[in-house]
Each structure stands twice: as C-alpha cells, then as structure tokens.
C-alpha cells in the first residue's frame, strides 16, 4: 500500500478531525498518486517510527502552478492558510528551497476510509430515511 506521509505532528489533529483533506506537494507527483488509490496516511520522519493516522482513498490529483491554486485548494491543505504568500512560505520551510508562483505543485485530495460508519449502517438497516 502506498503511504501518504506528513512530517509535522501539527497535522495529526487536523487529519483526525477531518480539517485537512488535501496535501500540496512540490513538483508533478501525478505518477505517484492516482484517483481511487488506497493510501495509508502517516505522520513521522524518514528512518523513524511513523504513526498510522488512517487509511484513505485519493479522490483527485491535480497538477498546476502555485499561482493557479484556489484559496480552497490552500485551505484544504492547511486550514490555517488562505493566501498564496502564506503557502509559499510554508512550502519553502518544508522543502528547504525557494518556491515561486510559477512552480508546479500537485494537489492530492483524499477521504478517510471509515469502517462501518453509522450513517451507512443506518441506511442499510432502513433507519432514519425513506424506505423502498
């Protein structure tokens, strides 16, 4: 199974609460992540133990320039950010290199895989909705 890893532990809470539903990665990563692919979402550093957060499915993979990112793209990556300038600063910290509005990034949108979510269970049992 492919791993979608995050280095910063500040994302763990955002991921668990469903506030972070995308990641913006520098460069074209469309060869690495594909729509409908199952991934294991983890937190940790290379060559160190990693914490499993959850399994997810990739909903969408878009390659675009930083300047073409919408405020919604940025917010889904980091709920604390909205502006391109803030995202650029953040990416520069992560990648340790200058990032410009012309750089290519990959936006990977994902959804947590939940086993037996209550709403599905209720619908299957005919609880709380119209019955056929």
pLDDT tens digit sequence for 102-111:
999 999 999 9
For the chain, the domains span 2-125
Q: What architecture is domain 2-125?
A: Roll (3.10)
Tokens representing 98 are 């200058």
Which letter, b or e, does each residue of 41-59 get, where b requires 16 or more Cβ atoms within 10 Å of its Cβ?
bbbbeeeeeeeebbbbebe
Task: List CB contacts of 14: < 8 A, sequence separation 6 or more.
Answer: 20, 78, 79
Entry pTM: 0.84
pLDDT at 117: 67
Q: Which residues of the chain have pLDDT under 50?
A: 132
Tokens representing 3 are 């791993």
Convert the pLDDT of each residue in 45-72 to its tens digit: 889 999 999 999 999 999 999 999 999 9
Q: What are phi and psi of 65, to 5 degrees?
A: -80, 155
Do residues 24 and 107 lie in contact, with contact meaning Cβ atoms separated by under 8 Å? yes
pLDDT at 109: 98
Tokens representing 129 are 């909705």
* Rounded Cα–Cα distance for residues 64 and 82 (Å): 17
* Rounded Cα–Cα distance for residues 131 and 122 (Å): 11
pLDDT at 1: 82
Strand segments (E) across 35-121: 38-43, 51-65, 104-112
């Amino acid at each position: 199974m492919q791993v979608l890893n995050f280095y910063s532990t500040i994302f763990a809470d955002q991921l668990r609460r469903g506030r972070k539903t995308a990641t913006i990665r520098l460069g074209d990563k469309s060869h690495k992540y594909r729509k409908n692919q199952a991934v294991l979402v983890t937190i940790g550093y290379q060559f160190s133990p990693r914490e499993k957060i959850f399994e997810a499915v990739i909903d969408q993979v878009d390659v675009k320039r930083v300047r073409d990112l919408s405020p919604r793209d940025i917010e889904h990556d980091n709920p604390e950010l909205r502006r391109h300038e803030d995202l650029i600063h953040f990416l520069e910290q992560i990648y340790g290199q200058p990032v410009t509005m012309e750089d290519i990034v990959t936006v990977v949108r994902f959804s947590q895989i939940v086993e037996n979510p209550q709403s599905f269970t209720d619908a299957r049992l005919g609880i709380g909705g119209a019955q056929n």
